[in-house]
Amino acid sequence: MRRKLAAGNWKMNGTGPALAELESLAHTFPDPSVDILICPPATLLHRASQTVHHTGIAVGGQDCHAATSGAHTGDLSAEMLKDTGANSVILGHSERREDHGEQNEDVRAKARTAMDAGLTTIICVGESLEQREAANTLDIIGGQMSGSIPDQSTGENLVVAYEPIWAIGTGKVPTLEEIGEVHDFMRARLERRFGEGVGRSVRLLYGGSVKPSNAAEIFGVSNVDGALVGGASLKAEDFSGIIRALEGA
Ligand code: PGA
């Protein structure tokens, strides 16, 4: 059985006062029946992990460098994330791929280092609107998965998030059939590459405009094991609605 996961990506949002949202979440879910992960900006990681210490909530980073250390001004290593108390890292988010030109090979190299450091790695894939309209979605997702996911992946160290670029922060969401088609495809790819045991144990998240009002129907789609949530993870009240929907799925 795959344990469901509600992951929040705060992106470049939040300073000290935002930690109150974490306190509130921990208070609302003293003993959650799903995994809850918050990925705040790196500046908040250490304080965030102290805030949720001994609760059912975990903390993760939003990126890391492919190297373990060295002359890389401004970058953070996987080991440094670990040192803050983080247990996970998001890699290959479309905003990193767009803003920083990250390619599949870069994401794979980062994922290898993150897995070696003992972090759970959430690798993001997703098509643009043009690619969807040209009926290239599955080719794109397949290529991103082969290119970005390292061979050492297991059900413990890998989570894959399907995030259609056109659905991120736009309020637009694919139909449930479209989500199901991609998630079933991703499951089949993982089973083919890693064997049924590992392939079936990797959690698959959907991300892109998930809200309390659409979460339950999305969580009812086959092979959706949770969500990667941007905007609606910033407020404990909104994220709580999504977590409740996942607990009830
Ligand atoms: P959104 O972002 O929930 O604000 O659409 C999702 C994401 O980028 O992970």
Summarised one tens digit per residue, pLDDT across range 59-73 is 999 999 999 999 999
Average pLDDT in the 150-173 region? 97
How many domains does the chain fold into? Answer: 1
The phi and psi torsions of 47 (rounded to 5 degrees) equal -65, -40
Question: pLDDT > 90: what percent of the chain?
Answer: 100
Residue 120, pLDDT > 90, answer: yes
Percent of the chain with pLDDT over 70: 100
Residue 227: pLDDT over 90: yes
CA torsion, ordered 215, 200, 230, 125, to nearest 10 deg? -120
What pLDDT does residue 1 have? 83
**3-class DSSP state of 9:** strand
CATH code where residue 41 lies: 3.20.20.70
**Please, are residues 239 and 8 in contact by the beta-carbon 8 Å criterion?**
yes
pLDDT category of residue 12 using cuts at 50, 70 and 90: very high
CA-nearest residue, atom 2 of ligand 1: 230
Which of 95, 123, 229 for mutating ligand 1's site (highest number of atoms within 8 Å of CB)? 229
Ligand 1 interacting residues, C-beta cut-off 6 A:
9, 163, 168-169, 207-210, 228-232
Helix (H, G, I), strand (E, B) or coil at 8: strand
DSSP string, 196-220: HHHHHHSEEEEESS--HHHHHHHHT
What integer is the mean pLDDT of 204-218? 98
- The pTM of the full predicted model, rounded to 2 decimals, is 0.97
Residue 93: active-site member: yes
Residue 166 belongs to domain spanning? 5-247
Rounded to the nearest 10 degrees, the angle between the axes of helix 236-247 and helix 212-219 is 20
